[in-house]
Chain A
Amino acid sequence: MTVLSTSLPRRALLRGLGASAMGALGLAELSFAKEAGSTAGVTRLAAVWRDGPSAMAQDWAGVLEVLPQASGGYAWRMAARTPLPTRGHGVQTLPDGQLVFVARRPGDWLLRWQPQTDALQWAWMQEDRCFNGHVALAAPATARAQSGAGRSGILFTTETDLEDSQGCIGLRDAASLEKLAEWRSHGMDPHELLVLPAALGKLPAGTLVVANGGIPTQSETGRSKKWLDSMDPSLVALHPADGRLLGRWKLPDPRLSIRHLAWDAARQRLGIALQAEHDDARRDSAPIFAVWDGQRLQLAQDQPPLAGYGGSVECAPLAQGGFVVSCPKSDCMAWFDAQARYLGSSPQGDVCPVARDGARLWAGGGHGVAERTSRSSDQAVPALDTVTGLMFDNHWRLMG
C-alpha cells in the first residue's frame, strides 16, 4: 500500500483521526507512565510537535508509541507529553530513559524530561549565545576529560555566538544542564552533531562530528537568511577530549548547507542530509544527500530533482545498508546506497521525521505515520488517539 501523497504544506496537519480535541487532554489522561516498559513489541519515539498550524497552538515534547495490533499491523498514539514555551527541534535520549529536548534555532531553552514521572529540568540561554536546535550525548572520553562533569555525562549542544555569528559547541552537565565548557565549531551555523561510537581511521572513538550549516545569521534577524554569497558549510571532526579540530571537509558547492546526520556503524558511513540555498533554478535539482567515510565527502549520484531539501536522514532498514532522506518539499523519501548512489524514492506526503527500528522505518508526515520496510513496501499506521490535528517537527528519536 502506498502511503499518501498530499499537496498540503510542510508539516501539514494530521487530521481526521478522531473527534475530540487532544489539546484539551492533560498528561494524566495519557498513559505512558503506567504502561512504560510493560508492552512487548511497542516502539517508542521521542518527538516534538505542535497541536495545529497556528502559532497560537501549543508546542509539545513527548513520546509517541507505535503498538502492534491484534488484527495485524500497527497503530500509534501519544503516550506522554509536556508543554514547551516555543517550538522545539532536536532530541537526545539518555541511558536512564530521560529525554533532552532543545529549542529550534535561534533557541533559548534546553529541557531534560523524565516522561514516566514528568520531572523537568530547564536551562535557559542567558549568555550571548543561542541554541541551534540539536543536542547529543558525549562519549565517556569527553566526560573523563572534563573536570566537574557529573556521573550523568556530558551533553553537546550546537550554538551560535551572537557577537561574531560563529558556531560553538556547548558542553553541559547532563544532570544540571549547566554549561561546563565551550568549543568552537570551526564554522557558522552548526546544526546537527553526532558522536562516533568507534574509531574511524585516525579519528578516535568519541570524535564529535558537526554539520556546520554555513548560513550566516545574526541575532537581529533571527532565522532570516542573509549574505548567502558568503555561505561556508563544512563537516568537521573534533577531538573528544578537548575539541581540537581533527579534520574539515567541504562540498564543491558552498550553497549546499550540511544539516543533518545519520551514522551507519556497520559500514562506517555517515549519511548527510543537505539543504540547498541557491537563489535560482539550481536549487530544485541540487543534491540533497552526501556520504562521508572519514576521509572524503561524496555527493549524491544520479539523483533526480528533489526540491533541494532534505529534512532528515536515517539509516535504511536494509541488509545492504544505505540511507533514506525525507523530502517534505517533494513529498517522498529518497533512498541512497552507502556510496551515495540514488536508488529511488517512496512517495509520502510532507514526510519529515524518520526513525529506524531494526528492520522497520517509521516516518511521519502528511496525514499520518507510515511503517516502511523497503522502498516499495509501506503500510499506513492509523492513530489510536483522538487526535484532531498536529504537526510533527523534523525529527524523531527511537527510545530504547
Chain B
Amino acid sequence: MTQVGTKPWPAKAAQSVGRACALLALAAMGGVVPLAQAADTPMPYYTAAQALQSLYGQHLPARAVAFSQAASAQDQALASFCAGPASAAKTAAAELRGQWQRSHTAWLQLSTPSVGPLVERRSLRQIDFTPIRTALITRAVKKGPQTAADMELVGTPAKGFGALDWLLSQGLQPASPECAFAVQVAKAISAEAQSLQAALEPLRSKTWSVEGSESEPEDVASPGAKETGAAIEEWVNQWLGGLERLRWAQMEKPVKVVEGSSKAPAFARIAMADNWREWQTQWQALHAQALLTPAQRQQPPVPGKDLISIEALLLSKGHIALAQRWREAIGVVDAAMPALGTVPAKEGAQANSEILALATQLKGITALYQAEVAPALDIPLGFSDSDGD
C-alpha cells in the first residue's frame, strides 16, 4: 500500500527495548552515550495505535472538558454582566477580561495542534478566526442576532475570540447592543466547546487498530489500520502545522509585513500581553506533545494513561541521537520563550527584533522536524518542504 501515512510501523514485540538496542549499537561503533541519556529509563516500543489511544483517550478529552468549563463560565459571566447595572461596568471589566483570557487559554491548549474533531468541525475557523474585521462586527452589532441560527449568518471575521477581544477593548456597557452581541459570541464559543467535548468523548474508549506486520504486504492493510495510519499522520502533520502557524502566521509575518514602514505589526490580539500569552500557551501545548516529562524519563509513559510524546516515539523506535537533538532544539526555544505570564519589556523595533529572533529559533525546530523527525517516524509531511507541487 502506498497511501500516504498508512505505512505500518515496524512490528516489534510490545515491550522490545528500542533504546537499549540502539545503545548497544552505539557502543559497538565506539559511540559516546551522553550521561543524561544513560540515566533515562529504557523506552518500550509504542505503536501508533497506543499513541492515539493516549492522545484521544486522555489528553484531548481532559482539555476539552477544561475548555468547555472555561467557555461556559465566560458565557455566564457575560450574560450576567450585560443584564446587570451600568454602575458595575468598570469593576466587572477586569473580571470579563480575565474570563476571556482563561477561556482563550483553554481553547489554545486544546486546539494546538488541531486534530480529529477540531479539524472536521473547522473549530479554529469557527471561533478563532483572525484577522477580525471590525466593520463586520459593527454591522453584526447593529443587526442584533438573537439566536444561534442568527449567528450562523454572521461572518467568521466578526465572531469568536477575536471579536470578543475587540468588543471588550471598546469598553462594554451593560444593556447595550454591543453587550448583547458579545453574549451571543460567547454563547457560540461555549456551544462549540460543548460540541467538541461531545465529539471527543466516543474517541476516549476507541480501540485503534494495530498496524500490520513488516512481513505483511502493504496493500493488505485493514480499514482499521488505515484509519490508525491516517490519524497518526494527521497528528504528526498538524503538530508541524501548529508550530508553523505560531512561527510564521502569528509571530514573523506581522513583523515582516510592516518592515520598512512606520506601521506597527498587526498581531492577532489587541493587547501585546495577550499576544505573548497566546504564543506562550501554544508553545506549552506543542511542548507537551513534543517531549517526555521529567517523571517519564524515569517511568515511561503508559499507553492509554499518559501522553506518548514525539520524543517517546523516537526513543521507542531506537532513534537515540535524534531524540537527543530533538530535546536540545526544543530546549533552545524553551530558553528563549518568556515564561507564561511574563511579557518582554522591549517596545517598537527592539520588540520586533526579539519576536523575529524567537521565530528563528522556532524555525530550527521546523527544520529538524521536517528533515529528520517525521521521516524517522515514517510519516510523510503534507506541510513538508520536500514535496513538490
Chain A residues engaging chain B, CB cutoff 8 angstroms:
9-11, 50, 53-56, 85-87, 89, 104-105, 108, 122, 124, 126, 128, 133, 162-163, 191, 218-225, 259, 275, 279-281, 283-284, 309, 311, 328, 352, 394
Contacts and interface: CB of A to CB of B under 8 A. Distances in A.
B97 interface: no
B143 interface: no
Output the residue of A122, A279, A284 with the most chain B CB within 10 A.
Answer: A279
A85 B383 contact: no
Contact of B237 (A191, A219, A221): A221
A320 B88 CA distance: 83
A56 B156 contact: no
Contacts of B252: 85
B370 A55 contact: yes
B177 to A, nearest CB: 25
A54 B386 contact: no
B114 interface: yes
B125 A220 contact: yes
A222 B389 CA distance: 13
A221 B131 CA distance: 18
Given A10-B388, A281-B219, A55 B382 contact: no
A279 B253 contact: no
Contact of B238 (A11, A56, A221, A281): A221
Contacts of A10: 386-388
Nearest to B119: A220
B4 interface: yes
A225 B382 contact: yes
A334 B385 CA distance: 25
Interface in B113-147: 114, 118-119, 122, 124-125, 131
A108 B254 CA distance: 12
Given A89-B389, A280-B219, A220 B2 contact: no
Given A124-B257, A220-B122, A220-B124, A191 B367 contact: no
Interface string B373-389: 00000000011111111
Given A56-B366, A219-B125, A394-B389, 16 more contacts: A55-B370, A56-B367, A85-B253, A89-B389, A124-B257, A162-B125, A220-B114, A220-B124, A223-B383, A223-B387, A224-B238, A279-B3, A280-B1, A280-B3, A281-B2, A328-B388
B248 interface: yes
A49 to B, nearest CB: 12
Nearest to A126: B131
Contacts of A126: 131
B241 interface: yes
A10 B244 CA distance: 22
B278 interface: no
A284 B3 CA distance: 12
Contact of B385 (A55, A124, A163, A311): A55
A75 B132 CA distance: 51
Given A54-B371, A126-B131, A280 B119 contact: no
Contacts of A162: 125
Given A56-B363, A279-B3, A105 B131 contact: no
Given A54-B371, A55-B366, A223 B219 contact: no
A221 B382 contact: yes
Interface of B: 1-4, 6, 114, 118-119, 122, 124-125, 131, 156-157, 219, 234, 237-238, 241, 244, 248-249, 252-253, 256-257, 363-364, 366-367, 370-371, 382-389
Given A218-B122, A219-B125, A11 B234 contact: no
16 contacts: A10-B387, A11-B386, A54-B367, A55-B367, A105-B389, A108-B253, A122-B257, A163-B125, A220-B118, A220-B119, A221-B238, A221-B382, A275-B388, A279-B6, A281-B2, A311-B388
Contact of B371 (A55, A89, A122, A223): A55
A218 B122 CA distance: 9
B219 A56 contact: no
Output the residue of A105, A122, A223 with the most chain B CB within 10 A.
Answer: A223
A218 B7 CA distance: 24
Contact of A85 (B114, B156, B238, B256): B256
Given A86-B248, A105-B389, A279-B2, A221 B363 contact: no
Contacts of B382: 221-225
Given A221-B119, A223-B382, A128 B371 contact: no
Query: What 6 pairs across the A-B complex have the smallest Cβ distances?
Result: A224-B382, A279-B3, A55-B367, A56-B367, A223-B382, A54-B367
A158 to B, nearest CB: 11
A33 B55 CA distance: 56
B336 to A, nearest CB: 15
Given A108-B253, A220-B119, A56 B364 contact: yes
A279 B1 CA distance: 7
Contact of A309 (B244, B363, B371, B388): B388
B101 to A, nearest CB: 23
A280 B388 contact: no
Nearest to B256: A85
B370 A191 contact: no
A257 to B, nearest CB: 10
Contacts of B248: 86
Contacts of A128: 156-157
Nearest to B1: A280
A225 B238 CA distance: 12
B171 to A, nearest CB: 27
Nearest to A312: B388
